[in-house]
Structure formats: C-alpha cells, structure tokens
C-alpha cells in the first residue's frame, strides 16, 4: 500500500453540494447501504464527496480512446455536480477484459486528493477487487472507507521509532560508562587517601631526617 506522507486538511464544511454517490450502469451494487457507508466515511474524512461511476461503455465504445474518456469525464462532472469539491471515479470493465479506472477531481478537491492520495485509493480498490469473500458493494465501500482514513493520516516509518530507541540506548550506555569510570576514580582516590592516613608517621621519616637529605654534604 502507498504510504501517506503528507499532512492534509479536509475541505471546510459547505464546500460540497451533496449529490448521489454512485451511478451503476451494470447492476453490480446489490446493497446500497454497504457501499454508501464507506463512501460517506471517505467524504467525512476528506471533505471531498466521491461519486463512483460503474460502466462498460464510454462514447458508445467498449474500448474507448483516451480522448473519449476525457470528454466523457468532463461531461459527467458538469452534469452531476455544481461545485469543485467532488471526485468522479469511473470504474470501467467490459466482460473478461482487465478493469480500468479514471478519475476527475474538482479544483477544490485536488487540494486534498493529490497524486499520492489517489494512489492510496487505487491501491485499496486493487486490494479488495480480488477478495472473493466481498460483494461488489462491500469491496468498493471498504476501499473508500480505508483509503479515506489513510489519506488523512501520516504514516510514520517504523524505523523512526527504531532509531529513536537505539539513540536513547546509546546515550544511556555512554552515561553508564562515564558514571562507572567516575566511580572507579573516586574509589581509587578514596583508597589512596585511606592508605596515607593509615601509614605510620615513621614510614615517612622525621622532619629532621627529611631535612637532612637536602643539606649540602
């Protein structure tokens, strides 16, 4: 999964004139609630209302050109929405051909849904499309729900924690070495002082004897 590395702010309330959440030309969605729950979660997290358009025909063709797709997306955006805070996601699949996804985001929506954010959404769709345990409504709903959460949350690398812990351990180790050496030095000085105090005065000689050693002969 693509990681979210950017701090994003959701669009402010009032940016969206709420509309329908999906257009299903292929009859895939058997449970509106399961799909809408996920798409509304995406909307609440990002402030961008998504619209899922499921089809197998664009411009009268099952194998549309790039120009046909671009023209279709612009036409549908203008027909479906009255603001720049929507995301139109076109999910195209014809019979046994691989599916294709195109999207068009309004100018406001792009401030939240940058390339990385859309890569996250594409990754979740790819992940759950192949999950045979999920219905079409469930897989789309889950993909939108989880993508919305990840898009708005910066994913921190686990290595940051690893290196932080390693740094703390290194500092503690240095502190322990310093403390140990300081304690050893202190103990050594204390032992030397003790020996001096316990040594009989005769062992050093009298002042006269010491004085005599430095007299001229």
SS (H, E, C) 136-159: HHHHHHHHHHHHHHHHCCCCCCHH
**Is the domain of 79 the same as that of 131?**
yes
pLDDT band, very low/low/confident/very high, at 182 (cuts 50, 70, 90): low
Instruction: Report pLDDT for 67.
Output: 97
Structural domain contains residue 11:
no
pLDDT digits (tens, 9 = 90+) for 114-136: 999 999 999 999 999 999 999 99
Q: Which residues pair with 104 in a beta bridge?
A: 88
**Last residue in a domain, options 151, 172, 191:** 151
pLDDT digits (tens, 9 = 90+) for 183-193: 667 766 666 66
Q: Average of pLDDT values for 74-103?
A: 97
**Is the domain of 170 the same as that of 82?**
no
Instruction: Report pLDDT for 209.
Output: 47
**Is the domain of 146 the same as that of 166?**
no
% of residues, the chain, pLDDT over 70 = 72
Structural domain contains residue 4:
no
pLDDT band, very low/low/confident/very high, at 172 (cuts 50, 70, 90): low
More confident residue, 102 or 182: 102
Per mean pLDDT, which range of 66-75, 146-155, 156-165, 177-186 is the poorest?
A: 156-165
More confident residue, 214 or 48: 48
Q: Residue-wise over 180-196: b if at least 16 C-beta within 10 A, else e?
A: eeeeeeeeeeeeeeeee
Domain that holds residue 191: 158-212
**Is the domain of 143 the same as that of 37?**
yes
**Last residue in a domain, options 151, 171, 194:** 151
Structural domain contains residue 140:
yes
Is the pLDDT reported for residue 106 higher than 50?
yes
Instruction: Report pLDDT for 177.
Output: 60
Instruction: Report pLDDT for 166.
Output: 47
The residues near 20 (Cβ < 8 Å, ≥ 6 apart) are 51, 80
Structural domain contains residue 13:
no
The DSSP result for 69-127, as a single string, is: HHHHHHHHHHHH-SSS-EEEEEEE--TTSPPEEEEEE-TTGGGTS-HHHHHHHHHHHHH
3-state secondary structure of 52: strand
**Is the domain of 93 the same as that of 109?**
yes
Pick the most confident of 73-82, 147-156, 178-187. 73-82
Q: How many domains does the chain have?
A: 2
**Is the domain of 75 the same as that of 98?**
yes
Q: Residue-wise over 46-56: b if at least 16 C-beta within 10 A, else e?
A: bbbbbbbbbbe
Structural domain contains residue 122:
yes
The CATH number that applies at residue 115 is 3.10.310.50
pLDDT digits (tens, 9 = 90+) for 16-34: 999 999 999 999 999 999 9
Structure-token pair, residue 213: 């050693």
**Is the domain of 136 the same as that of 33?**
yes
The position carrying tokens 């671009």 is: 70
CA angle 123, 39, 20 (to 5 degrees): 130
Instruction: Report pLDDT for 42.
Output: 98
Mean pLDDT over all residues of the chain? 85
% of residues, the chain, pLDDT over 90 = 70
Is the pLDDT reported for residue 176 higher than 70?
no
d(CA 58, CA 39): 24
**Is the domain of 53 the same as that of 101?**
yes
């Amino acid at each position: 999964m693509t990681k979210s590395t950017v701090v994003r702010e959701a669009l402010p309330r009032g940016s969206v004139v709420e509309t329908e959440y999906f257009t299903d030309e292929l009859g895939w969605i058997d449970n509106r609630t399961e799909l809408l729950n996920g798409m509304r979660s995406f909307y609440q997290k990002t402030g961008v209302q998504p619209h899922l358009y499921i089809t197998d025909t664009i411009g009268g063709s099952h194998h549309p050109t790039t120009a046909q797709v671009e023209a279709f997306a612009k036409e549908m955006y203008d027909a479906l929405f009255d603001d720049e805070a929507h995301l139109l996601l076109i999910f195209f699949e014809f019979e046994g051909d691989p599916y294709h996804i195109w999207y068009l985001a309004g100018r406001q929506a792009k401030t939240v849904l940058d390339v990385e954010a859309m890569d996250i959404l594409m990754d979740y769709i790819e992940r759950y499309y192949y999950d045979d345990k999920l219905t079409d409504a469930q897989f789309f709903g889950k993909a939108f729900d989880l993508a919305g959460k990840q898009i708005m949350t910066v994913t921190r690398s686990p290595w940051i924690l690893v290196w932080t812990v390693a740094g703390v351990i290194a500092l503690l180790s240095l502190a322990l070495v310093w403390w140990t050496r300081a304690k050893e030095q202190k103990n050594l000085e204390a032992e030397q002082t003790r020996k001096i105090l316990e040594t009989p005065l005769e062992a050093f000689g009298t002042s006269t004897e010491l004085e005599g050693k430095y007299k001229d002969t």
